[in-house]
Amino acid sequence: GQQLNQSPQSMFIQEGEDVSMNCTSSSIFNTWLWYKQDPGEGPVLLIALYKAGELTSNGRLTAQFGITRKDSFLNISASIPSDVGIYFCAGLSGYALNFGKGTSLLVTP
């Protein structure tokens, strides 16, 4: 599969701070997706992006589909303790979804 480079690998922040993570690829994708996974559970879809340049929000989350179609970023504003988890980016090429290795987010009260 096509390799996605997701960074940072982990983040340790205080409640109330903003968070930014990104994903890059050497390949072009038609769709970018962001998921959150809590321990012992399956990933949950947060945001789906379908057009280059698209900027989409879901509550305190904002994600953008890069102009080159090779990258995407996810921002979380005013973090809260329940934001803790692993965030995955994923790029869709045809019917195959390629995942990044995840960003582990820890939020302290």
Binding site for another protein (CB under 8 A): 1, 4, 31, 33, 40-45, 48, 50, 88, 90, 92, 95-102
Closer to another protein by Cβ: residue 13 or 92:
92
Cβ contacts of 16 within 8 Å, gap of 6 or more: 78, 79
Please, what is the minimum distance in Å from the beta carbon of residue 83 to another protein? 19
Q: How far is the CB of 67 from another protein (least distance, A)?
A: 20
Task: Compare residues 43 and 66 and give the one whose CB is closer to another protein.
Answer: 43
Q: Which is nearer to another protein, 66 or 100 (CB)?
A: 100
CB atoms near residue 57 (< 10 Å): 11
Q: What's the sign of the alpha-carbon dihedral 36, 86, 62, 28?
A: negative
Q: What's the rounded Cα separation, in Å, for the pair 21 and 38?
A: 17
Q: Are 107 and 81 in contact (CB under 8 A)?
A: yes
Taking the complex as a whole, the smallest distance from the CB of residue 14 to another protein amounts, in Å, to 27
